[in-house]
Structure 1
Amino acid sequence: MNIIFNFLSSLLDSIFNFTGDWGLAIVFLTISVRLVLSPMSFKQKKSMHQQQKFGIKMQEIKEKYKDNKDRLDVEVKKQSAESAKSMLGCLVTLLQLPIIMTLWSVFNKLPVSASTFLIPWVSSIKVSDSYFIVPLIYVLISLTPSLLSYVTLLKIEGQSTLSKSNIIIMAVVGLFVAKAAPIAVGIYLITTSVFNFLEELIFRLYIRNSKIRN
C-alpha cells in the first residue's frame, strides 16, 4: 500500500506542478487511474453480463428438460462450468479497492490552503461544501449510469432496471457521503461518476453491436 500511496502522491504533485491547480490535478489523476483500471472494469461488466445470460439460459433449460431428469442434469452441469469461468472476471473488482482507498489517503495529505478554480466559492478543498453544490452534482451524475437501463436501445437482456425507491436510496446515501467528505474527494467522486457513465454507455453500445453482428 505504501508503494501505491507514494506513486499516486508523486503523480498528483507532478500533475499539480503542470496544471498549477489542485482541482485539475485531482481530475487528471482520477482519469489516469480509471483508464488503467478500465480493462479490468470492462472484463467485470462482461462477466456480470454472462451471469445474467446464464440465469436466463438455466430457466430455459429447466423448462425444456423438465420431463427428462438425466438430460437436465447434463445440461445444468455444462452451463454451471461455463458460469464458473465467467465468475472469475468478477474478482477483478477486488484489485481496484486498494487503489481507490489509497487515492482518498492521497487527497487527505493535500495542503490546507489547496484551492481550485473549479470550485471558486471555497478557499480550500480540504473542507466539505457547505453550499451542497458539490454533493448535489455528484448525486445527479452518479445516478446516470443506472438510468441508461431505461433507454430502449441500450437495454441489456436479463438486466433489471432499478426501481424508483432504490434510486432514491442511492441518491440519499450518495448525498450523505459526498456532504461528509472534503471537496477534494467530491471532485474525485464526480470525475469517477462521469467516467462510470461513459464506460457504461460504451459497454452497452458494445453489447448492442455484438447482438447485431450475431
Structure 2
Amino acid sequence: MNIILEMFNNILRIGFSITKDWGISIILLTILLRFLLLPLSFKQRMSILKQGEISKKIEETKIKYKNDKAKLDEELMKHYKESSKSMFGCFTLILQLPILSALYYTIQRMPADVGTILIPWVSSLKLPDRYFIVPLLYSLISVSPNLISYIGILKPYGSEVKNLGFNMISMMVISIIITIKAPVSIGIYFIASGVFTLFEEIAFRLYQRYLNTVKA
C-alpha cells in the first residue's frame, strides 16, 4: 500500500507542477487512475450484462420445462455453471477497492493547505464546502448514469426503463451524506470520478448497442 501511496503522491505533485493548482491535479490523477482501471471496469460491466442474460434464460427454462423436472434440473444446471463462470468478472470491483482507497487516502493527506480555482469560494482544500455546492453537484452527477436511460439511443438494449425515482433519490441522499462534511479535495475526486463513470457508461451502452446490431 505504501508503494501505491508514494506513486499517487508523486503523480499529484507532478500534476501540480504543471497546472499550479492542486484541485486540477486531483482531477488529472483521478482520470489517469480511471483510465488504468478501464479494462477491469469493462470486464465487470460485461459480467453484469451476462448475468442478466442468464437470469432471463433461467426464467424461460423454468416455464418451458415446468412439467419435466428431470429436464428442468439438467438445463438449470447448465445455466448455473455458466453463471458461476461469468460471476468472476464481477469480482474485478473488489480488486479496484485497494487502489481507490489509496487514492482517497493520498488526497486526504495532501500537504497543501490552499484553495483551488475550481472552487474559489472555499479557502482550503481541507475544508468542507459550507455552501453545499460540491455535495449537491456530486449528488446530481451520481444519478446521471440513470438519467441517460431515458435517452433513446442510450437506453439499456433489450430492456425497458423502469421507474428509477426511488433509486435516484436514495443515491442523491447518500452522495450528499458522503460529501457534506468531507474536505472539498475529496469532493473534487468524487465529482471527477462520477463524470468519468458517466462517459464510461455512455460509451459502454453505445458499444452494447453496436454489438447487438451486428448480431442482428
- TM bucket (normalised to shorter chain) is over 0.9
Shift of 1:61: 0.9
1:192 maps to 193
Residue range with higher mean Cα deviation, 159-168 or 21-30:
159-168
The separation in 2 between residues aligned to 1:155 and 1:106, in whole angstroms, is 36
- In structure 2, the partner of 1:156 is 157
Shift of 1:158: 5.2
Q: CA, structure 1 residues 201+93, in 2 after alignment: closer, same or farther (shift >3 Å)?
A: same
Question: What runs of 5+ residues in structure 2 fail to find an aligned partner?
Answer: none
Q: In 1, are the aligned partners of 2:146 and 2:164 still within 8 Å (CA)?
A: no
What are the residue-to-residue correspondences of 1:12-31 with 2, within 5 Å?
12-31=12-31
SS at match of 1:180: coil
TM-score by length of 1: 0.95
CA distance in 1, matches of 2:211, 2:78: 24
Moved more, 66-75 or 179-188: 66-75
CA deviation after TM superposition for structure 1 residue 150, in Å: 2.8
Q: Number of aligned pairs?
A: 214
TM superposition shift of 1:160: 6.2
* Cα distance in 2 for residues equivalent to 1:134 and 1:165: 22
Partner amino acid, structure 1, of 2:34: R
Distance, in Å, in 2 between the alignment partners of 1:150 and 1:69 is 41
Matched AA of 1:168: I
Residue 111 of structure 1 aligns to a residue whose secondary structure is coil
Q: What is the alpha-carbon distance in structure 1 between the residues aligned to residue 106 and residue 92 of structure 2?
A: 23
Which range moves more in the overlay, 68-77 or 136-145? 68-77
Q: 1:152 to 1:198 in 2, by over 3 A?
A: same
TM-score by length of 2: 0.94
Q: CA RMSD in A?
A: 1.5
Query: What pairs up with 1:4-43 in 2 under 5 angstroms?
Result: 4-43=4-43
Residue aligning to 1:111: 111
Q: What is the distance in 2 between the residues matched to 1:37 and 1:106? A: 18
Stretches (4+) displaced over 6 A: none
Cα distance in 2 for residues equivalent to 1:114 and 1:106: 16
